Amino acid sequence: MSENTNANKDYAVIGKSVPRIDGREKVTGAAKYTGDLSFPNMLYGKILTSPYAHARIISIDTVEAEKLPGVKAVITHKDVPTLKYGISPARWDENIFCIDKVRFVGDKVAAVACIDEKTCYEAMKLIKVEYEVLPAALDFLTAMDEGQPQVHDEYPNNINTEIHQEFGDVEQAFKDAHYVRTDRFLGQRTYHSPIEPHSAISMWQDGKLTIYSSTQSPHYFQHYIAREFDMKMGDVRVLKTYVGGGFGGKLEPTGLEFAGAVLARITGRPVKMFYDRHEMFAHNRGRHAQYMEITTGVDKDGKILGCHANFKMDGGAYTSLGIASAYYAGALLPLTYEFDNYKFDMFRVYTNLPACGAQRGHGAPQPKYAFECHLDEIAKDLGIDPIEIRIRNARRPNTVTPNEFGVNSCEIKSCLEMARDMSGWVEKKGKLPKGRGIGVATGSFVSGAGYPIYRTNLPHAAAMIKVAEDGTAATLYTGAVDIGQGSDTVLSQMAAEAMGFVYEQMKIVAADTETTPHDFGAYASRQTLMSGAAVKQAGEEIKAQLLDMAAVILQRDPSDLEVKAGVIYSRTDSSVTLSFADAAKEFFVRRGPLVGKGSYAPPKLGGKFKGAAVGTSPAYSFCAQISEVQIDEETGVIDVLDVWDVHDCGMVINPGLLHGQVHGALYMGLGESIWEQVLFDKNGKLVNGNLGEYRLPTALDMPRVHSGLIDSYEPAGPWGVKEVGEGSTNPTMGCFANAIYDAMGVRINSLPLTYEKVWKALKEKRELEQKQNK
Amino acid sequence: MYLPDFDYYAPQNLEEACSLLTHLGSKAKVLSGGTDLMVKMKHGVISCEVLVSLKELNELKEINYHQGKGVVVGARATHNDLVNSIILNEKYLSISEAAHHMASNQIRNIGTVGGNIVNAVPSADLPPILIALGATLTLVGPEGERTIPLEEFFTGPGRSVLAQNEIVTFITIPNQPTTGSNYIKFGLRRSGALAVIGVASAVTMEGNIIKDARIALGAVAPVPMRAKEAEAILIGKEYTDDLLEQAGVAASKECSPISDIRGSVEYRRDMVRVFTKRSLKAAITKGHSGEHLETAHSNNI
């Protein structure tokens, strides 16, 4: 256990599963999402996209569309800036509309704004685009070969990103090793599938552009929209109402914002745009498919001496956040286990398919799946129990990874031990009936990225709290973005705790670039730690001012006073009390607005090598997951029965929301393990861009979930917090894959582990056994 | 995706409905639950100018038992009407259970048995169990009424013998000597999945002897098909697990599935083998109500 534990700390607001601050609005249906909003005179806009995976645009004729009654604007590349954009600064490679050629089925070609939605569809049918169809690069494993179609002329051999890193001496480690093993795995394309489709409403007033968007980061939207239109950031306002899930897919502005802004400017009217479910799949930015070759050398006890990760990933037609995905794929691998020698090679390859980007866990979950399966194979070869080999290699607190990430708190060993005990591993492993299996995996993730996506010296988070003039309520202003994970609730709890106030009287204004202080937004599992640190500072500033006022009123020394849960009291005389509200009201009367502010920037982190920034973080969460599955050997049907998750995420602000994140992560991980895969036909057209055939698990598919916590304290986080949102997806695919392997006795080295793949592998195994018996 | 404009009629009786369809011709479609039709219209797969809704024809919603005839199910009965029907629960729980495993609860509240049949989708869940139980269809057109075996209704994917101006009104499950029936839908998740394959069986047992057996397969041919070679293996024989395996093998050989994103030919054939024997075993040992004990997923709800 950590030395500085929270177990006995007496907190009034944090550490409690208070109801969500937006719960009532959401469950009653009162909550308005961007798509629900309407403005006077509002037009509807839609984007016409490419029907071909790769084609040259010969001509675009919009004359007929423009003539259609109800059509207010038709735009193509001629009507918009030609400046290339993207979210990763090193590779801006997208245009608002394609100029010379289209690069995937769904690439943006033109857009319309009309008096209603129906007219949009009719107008799009009237736009005549002449294409010269080109051969397409659809397979990322061959797209780098000579003679393959080039997706972008500027990137020979379709190489979007190339990474070669080595720490220590891997070759020597393999020479010294008792055993060296290589395994190869293939991950699949998956899509975030948030419930709420992307939508944006753009409008102009006196040269200022306002966009309501379903966004994970108003800040990055504001930054990149201002850049694209050569505007001052102060003249661009991006805000959101409620967001129905993001998972990485709503971190970058899309055609909805870029085309919508232009359509709104031309027509002088607000323009609402949205993607339908199929268009969401076509826009994508979901998980990259990765090919993963891993070689590891261990000593006779299974201690890892060195590891070489040799990966390729399918980037699709554009970069999106893919450079970071590529770096993350290797950067986070040495976190859960301690070893000194590590080599990472990666090619991110362009293909004529929808662009891939960040999806919950970013580039890390598939490599972690591969590594956890690989480690199980090593354990089996050496005759070591899978949990034992993980405990032997488990990272210790206050250590540094080979790629120079400093780890403070780390209870991975305790996570493994607790998960082992909760699941009954010892009684079950190797003793389960035929068709039943149990598997384990570990994971770890950043609690916020050490560096922002583009180079800037802005602090990562800022917050402001204003106490109501009569002292009965307080409003937190934060740029942090609640996309369903519950950050509005957690940050309000933190504000109340820091101020000595009550959660029930907290109000929040969040995620609006104009009214709230800057924050980078909801990605890289950053808000509890980073936004929380800014909120804590703001709350403490309120508290100090309030106690100073109370000292005057009560005629006592401020250091004798404390405030908690809305009551100011003396540390030495229990008869002396004053309500928070009375003191706050008096403050306003005598001294003006009671306002507190805070900001947070992480310390300088990481090494000096190329790509050293990716994966740095002030703190890392750790967890272990164990699952038990039942396989029908005749059909390949997999029933996941139970999952045990034990997390070290530091101090937990809201246990209910934390367990919710774990449930959600297991749900997504289950889908990616067994069912989900975005599929294309031989022409690069989506074949399952809908929720009928892109099979997310249903409630009936969910296993029993047992979510446990290790008491821990992270010195880098406010009150000792760390992340949970993304790290909880990190072990999941490996955990299910290992349980499925344990049940089958034969390893399938690709995701998803569909029933048919299981059936086929078991059939081949039986046939092989029959042959050997003859 | 946008639902195009259309005219809407809700005739008060069947006669009016048929005359409307005759009058409007191919630009009209019949609207029952609309769970397939609306989606196809939104996607532009079907374009029609007029929808003729059966909404006012309340007699088509009823599920009744007629002495001497059998169970008569109105074509507008929803899937959840089948799930909740006391008559079906008592006589052919297998039908209620087949309906229960369809789609999602929201769709089961709206989608109808008539629509599930008329759509003629090879993977539809209700036709196999209804065919296994020898169901007949009543079709009403301007010329009057005709009755045909459901098995003879389908002519290909999306195609049937239904004339443009005819309406399916009732499905009749005749009184019969069968002692057990069962349908297993094999989908790739527990809910909201189309059948990779479906197997229905109905058996007449005398002690351990299989006097008669009917097997109907879904999603493995252009239309729901009887597995007659498998049936022939069973009829007159004493029930053993080995016999059921033989029947499963025969069924897997006589079906003609295709490969698609839900499964390959090889997988579908082998699943026909597995689920034919499981379905038969349930029908033999559990009567008309065994499906919930013998499903694709071990802990299905």
Q: Do A679 and B190 touch (CB under 8 A)?
A: no
The strand pair at B136-141 and B167-174 is best described as antiparallel
Question: How does pLDDT run across B163-192, given as a tens digit for each residue?
Answer: 999 999 999 999 999 999 999 999 999 989
What does the pLDDT read at residue A702? Answer: 94
Contact A190, A284 (CB under 8 A): no
For residue B293, is pLDDT > 60? no
Token readout for A153 is: 């002329």
What does the pLDDT read at residue B289? Answer: 78
As annotated, the residues of chain B forming the CATH 3.30.390.50 domain(s) are 180-297
Q: Does residue A204 sit in the same domain as residue A77?
A: yes
Q: Does residue A429 sit in the same domain as residue A478?
A: no
> CB contact, 8 Å: B105 with chain A?
no
Q: Does residue A233 sit in the same domain as residue A331?
A: no
Which residue do the tokens 């009217």 mark? A269
Is A147 part of any domain? Answer: no
> CB contact, 8 Å: B248 with chain A?
no
ipTM of the complex model: 0.95
CATH number for the domain formed by residue range(s) B180-297 = 3.30.390.50
Q: Does residue A210 sit in the same domain as residue A358?
A: no
Q: Does residue A534 sit in the same domain as residue A425?
A: no
Q: Which of A630, A754, A763 sits opposite B298 (nearest CB)?
A: A630
Is A373 part of any domain? Answer: yes
* φ and ψ of A327, to 5 deg: -65, -45
Domain that holds residue A682: 290-447+619-769
Q: Do A763 and B271 touch (CB under 8 A)?
A: no
Q: Does residue A225 sit in the same domain as residue A269?
A: yes
Q: Does residue A273 sit in the same domain as residue A376?
A: no
Is A23 part of any domain? Answer: no
Is A5 part of any domain? Answer: no
Q: Does residue A576 sit in the same domain as residue A638?
A: no
Q: Do A698 and B190 touch (CB under 8 A)?
A: yes
Average pLDDT, consecutive stretches of 10 residues, N- to C-terminus, chain A (774 residues): 55 97 96 97 98 98 98 98 93 97 98 97 97 98 98 97 98 98 98 97 97 98 98 98 97 98 98 97 98 98 98 98 97 97 98 98 97 98 98 98 98 98 98 97 98 96 98 98 98 98 98 98 98 98 98 97 98 96 98 98 97 97 98 96 97 96 96 98 97 94 96 96 95 97 97 98 95 88
What does the pLDDT read at residue B290? Answer: 61
Q: Which CATH architecture has domain B7-53?
A: 2-Layer Sandwich (3.30)
Identity of the residue numbered A282:
A
* φ and ψ of A492, to 5 deg: -65, -40
What does the pLDDT read at residue B297? Answer: 52
Q: What is the mean pLDDT of residues B155-160?
A: 97
As annotated, the residues of chain B forming the CATH 3.30.465.10 domain(s) are 58-174
Q: Do B189 and A276 touch (CB under 8 A)?
A: no
Q: Does residue A501 sit in the same domain as residue A422?
A: no
Single residue among A600, A631, A661 that ends a domain in this structure: A600
CATH of the domain at A216: 3.90.1170.50
Question: How does pLDDT run across B60-119, given as a tens digit for each residue?
Answer: 999 999 999 999 999 999 999 999 999 999 999 999 999 999 999 999 999 999 999 999
Is A696 part of any domain? Answer: yes
Q: Does residue A472 sit in the same domain as residue A518?
A: yes
CATH of the domain at A463: 3.30.365.10
> CB contact, 8 Å: B26 with chain A?
no
As annotated, the residues of chain B forming the CATH 3.30.43.10 domain(s) are 7-53
Question: How does pLDDT run across B187-240, given as a tens digit for each residue?
Answer: 999 989 999 999 999 999 999 999 999 999 999 999 999 999 999 999 999 999
Contacts of A637 in chain B (CB under 8 A): 296-298
Q: Does residue A263 sit in the same domain as residue A383?
A: no
- Please tell us whether the domain made up of B58-174 is placed in CATH 3.30.465.10: yes
Q: Do A756 and B264 touch (CB under 8 A)?
A: yes
Q: Do B189 and A121 touch (CB under 8 A)?
A: no
Is A611 part of any domain? Answer: no
pTM (2 decimals)?
0.96
Question: How does pLDDT run across A266-289, given as a tens digit for each residue?
Answer: 999 999 999 999 999 999 999 999
Q: Does residue A129 sit in the same domain as residue A266?
A: yes
Contacts of B191 in chain A (CB under 8 A): 698-701
Q: Do B189 and A695 touch (CB under 8 A)?
A: yes
Is A74 part of any domain? Answer: yes
Q: Do A756 and B267 touch (CB under 8 A)?
A: yes
How do the residues of chain A divide into helix, strand and coil, expressed in percent and rounded to 5? 30, 25, 45
Chain B segment 34-53 residues within 8 A of A by beta carbon are none
Is A8 part of any domain? Answer: no
To the nearest whole Å, the CA of A693 is away from the closest chain B CA by 8
Partners of residue B70 on adjacent β-strands: B66, B174
